[in-house]
Amino acid sequence: MDKQDQTQAVNVKPLRRPPQARPDHAIPVLVVMAGNDIGKVFYFDEEGQTIGRDVEVQIPLTDSLVSRRHAQVYRQKAEDGDAVHHIVVDLHSTNGTFVNGERISKVFLQNGDKIQIGDTTFKFTLHDETDHRYQQEIQRRIHLDDLTGLLSLNSFYERLERRLQQSRHRRSRVAVLMMDLDGLKAVNEKHGHLAGSFLIKSVAAHLRERLGPLGEVGRYGGDEFIAFIPDVETEEVLAHLENLRSAVAGHRFSFKDMPVRITLSVGLATFPWDGHSVESLVAAADAALFSAKQQGKNRIVAHDRD
């Protein structure tokens, strides 16, 4: 058994008196104020959200002092039924759950409470619609690329690492894709860099539409994109990619009433056969992309395992 998952008997403070229940329309939020996951925002509901290091929990933390299933937060209807309380309960963790510096077993949360789990500190807040829209915009700016609206590279890597952890646990596959526009330099030289930016944004929309429902898509940088597709057989992944490639090649993009053509090259690597880490899988997909370019562009190449 993981030492950090062993149950530890502790003396804890009794459950404090419930605060005045909040209106049901208030949005409960946990914001990570300190720790490896600083800046992340989590929401929770009546069903509850489990906090921990386990790959299946709803609020995952990359903190070695956190147990696999450390604590749970949830909403509970007040007795009058028109409002709710918000509660955090420790799940017999090794290192304990603290609220405002005091170790607890279960406690009613009040707006502004600080919850410490391992080296991670959350702030519990209740948002109205204005707060909610503001927080969503902040998260958008943190996690999305400005030009394309796709995931930023750091956010993409974080999600890929999370998916790989789940796939190791489930013994399932993950396809990792590196994609590059063919001939963008020539477009920039002929029509200007605004035309190039237009094409990057337009192709990103194709990627979001065709690959987004299957997994996650990000912007690697410049005119390169990156994606992953979990739990899909290689033959099916290749079919989706061929549909994407042909759609981009056959689309008549129009920039300021000028027709502009572009094509897409794709490199494919698959976990666990082509790598076991984010770095090794991206490197394998990038090598396959290089081969696609060398073979004439506008094609899909899978990583050579020989």
- Residue 187 backbone dihedrals phi, psi, to 5 degrees: -65, -45
Which pLDDT does position 188 carry in this prediction? Answer: 93
Which pLDDT does position 6 carry in this prediction? Answer: 44
* pTM value > 0.85: no
Which pLDDT does position 112 carry in this prediction? Answer: 95
Q: Look at the alpha carbons of 157, 158, 163, 168 in this order and tell me if their dihedral is positive or negative.
A: positive
d(CA 281, CA 303): 10
Asked if the model's pLDDT at residue 232 lies above 80, the reply is: yes
Q: Which residues contact 18 (CB under 8 A, 6 or more apart)?
A: 85, 108
What's the one-letter identity of residue 121? Answer: T
Q: Comparing 155 with 44, which gets the higher pLDDT?
A: 155
pLDDT digits (tens, 9 = 90+) for 3-34: 444 434 444 444 554 454 455 567 889 999 99
d(CA 40, CA 59): 10
Of the pLDDT bands very low, low, confident and very high (cuts 50, 70, 90), residue 169 is confident
Asked if the model's pLDDT at residue 106 lies above 50, the reply is: yes
Of the pLDDT bands very low, low, confident and very high (cuts 50, 70, 90), residue 293 is very high
Angle at 249 between CA 246 and CA 250, to 5 degrees: 80
Which pLDDT does position 130 carry in this prediction? Answer: 85
Q: Helix or strand or coil: residue 275?
A: coil
Q: Helix or strand or coil: residue 301?
A: strand
Which pLDDT does position 135 carry in this prediction? Answer: 80
- Residue 129 backbone dihedrals phi, psi, to 5 degrees: -65, -35
Q: Are strands 97-99 and 114-117 parallel, antiparallel or unpaired?
A: antiparallel
Among the residue ranges 16-20, 47-51, 217-221, 299-303, the one predicted with the least confidence is: 16-20
- What is the distance of C-alpha 162 from the center of its chain? 8
Percent of the chain with pLDDT strictly greater than 70? 91
Contact status, residue 247 vs residue 210, Cβ threshold 8 Å = yes
Asked if the model's pLDDT at residue 172 lies above 90, the reply is: yes
- Residue 201 backbone dihedrals phi, psi, to 5 degrees: -65, -40
pLDDT digits (tens, 9 = 90+) for 110-123: 999 999 999 999 99
Mean of pLDDT over the chain: 89
Which pLDDT does position 81 carry in this prediction? Answer: 65
| CA-closest candidate to residue 228, choices 152, 151, 174 | 174
Which pLDDT does position 292 carry in this prediction? Answer: 97
Q: 137-147: buried (b, 16+ CB within 10 Å) or exposed (e) per residue?
A: eeeeeebbbee
Which pLDDT does position 136 carry in this prediction? Answer: 80
Asked if the model's pLDDT at residue 141 lies above 90, the reply is: no
Which pLDDT does position 27 carry in this prediction? Answer: 85
Q: How many residues does the chain have?
A: 306
The string of DSSP codes covering 28-54 is: EEEEEEESTTTT-EEE--TT-EEEESS
Q: Where are the beta strands (DSSP E) in the chain?
A: 22-23, 27-34, 41-43, 49-52, 59-60, 71-77, 83-90, 97-99, 102-104, 106-108, 114-117, 120-127, 174-182, 216-221, 224-230, 253-255, 258-260, 263-271, 300-302
d(CA 187, CA 297): 16
